[in-house]
Amino acid sequence: MISNVHIENIGPIKNAKIQFGALNLLCGKNNTGKTYIGYSIYGIMKYLIDEFFHSVSEKIILEYINKKIPNYDSAKSLVFDLDVHFEEMNILITNSMNQSFSEKLKVNLGKCFGTNPEEFINSKIVFFLEAQKEKLSLIGLSHTFLTVIKKTYMVIRKEKGSLKLSIDLFLEELTETEYYQTNIYQEISDFFNSLFATFYTKSLFFLPAERNTIQLFQKELDRLYLKNRTGKESAFSAPFEDFMDFHRDIDQMAKENSYLYKNHPDLINYLEEMLGVDFLLIDGKTMVSEKKTGIVIPHYMASTSVRSLSSLHFWLKHRAQKDSVLMIDEPELNLHPENQVKIARLLVRLVHAGIQVWISTHSDYIVKEINNMLMLSGQYLGKKELMKKLSYGEDEILPRDLLRAYLVKQDGIEKVEFDDYGMITTTFDDAITDINNITTEIIEAIENSKG
Determine the pLDDT at residue 52: 66
d(CA 284, CA 94): 43
Give the residue numbers spanning the domain of 347: 203-437
CB atoms within 10 A of CB 59: 15
What is the model's pLDDT at position 196?
A: 75
What's the domain count of the chain?
Answer: 1
Three-state SS letters, the chain: CEEEEEEEEECCEEEEEEECCCEEEEEECCCCCHHHHHHHHHHHHHHHHHHHHHHHHHHHHHHHHHHHCCCCCCEEEEEEEHHHHHHHHHHHHHHHHHHHHHHCHHHHHHHHHCCCHHHHCCCEEEEEECCCHHHHHCCCEEEEEEECCCCEEEEEEECCCCCEEEEEEEECCCCCHHHHHHHHHHHHHHHHHHHHHHHHCCCEEEECCCHHHHHHCHHHHHHHHHHHCECCECCCCHHHHHHHHHHHCHHHHCCCCCHHHHHCHHHHHHHHHHHCEEEEEECCEEEEEECCCCCEEEHHHCCHHHHHHHHHHHHHHHCCCCCCEEEEECCCCCCCHHHHHHHHHHHHHHHHCCCEEEEEECCHHHHHHHHHHHHCCCCCCCHHHHHHHHCCCHHHCCCHHHEEEEEEECCEEEECCEECCEECCCCCHHHHHHHHHHHHHHHHHHHHHCC
- The answer to whether residue 21 sits within a structural domain is no
CB distance 13 to 37 below 8 Å: yes
Q: Which residues pair with 285 in a beta bridge?
A: 282
Per-residue pLDDT of the chain (451 residues; tens, 9 = 90+): 688 999 999 999 999 999 999 999 999 888 888 999 999 999 888 877 666 676 677 778 777 777 776 665 544 677 777 777 778 888 888 888 888 888 888 888 998 888 899 999 999 999 887 767 777 777 777 777 766 555 667 788 888 888 887 877 776 655 555 555 567 777 777 787 777 777 666 789 999 888 877 666 666 666 666 656 555 566 678 888 888 888 888 888 888 999 999 999 999 999 999 999 998 888 777 888 999 899 998 888 888 888 889 999 999 999 999 889 999 999 999 999 999 999 999 999 999 999 999 999 999 899 999 999 999 999 989 999 999 999 999 999 999 999 999 999 887 899 999 988 888 766 667 777 787 888 888 788 878 887 6
pLDDT at 360 (0 to 100): 94
Residue type, 189: S
Q: In this predicted structure, what is the pLDDT of residue 327?
A: 96
Distance CA 374, CA 202 (A): 26
Nearest to 171 by CA among 85, 76, 82, 263: 76
> What is the number of alpha carbons within 13 Å of residue 447 lying toward its C-beta?
6
Phi and psi, residue 273, nearest 5°: -65, -40
Relative to beta strand 152-158, strand 141-147 is antiparallel
In a domain, 85, yes or no: no
For the whole model, what pTM was predicted?
0.86
412-414-420 Cα angle (round to 5): 170
Give domain status of residue 53, yes or no.
no
Quote the pLDDT of residue 393. Answer: 95
Q: How far apart are CA 341 and CA 217, in angstroms?
A: 29
Residue 74: per-residue pLDDT: 47
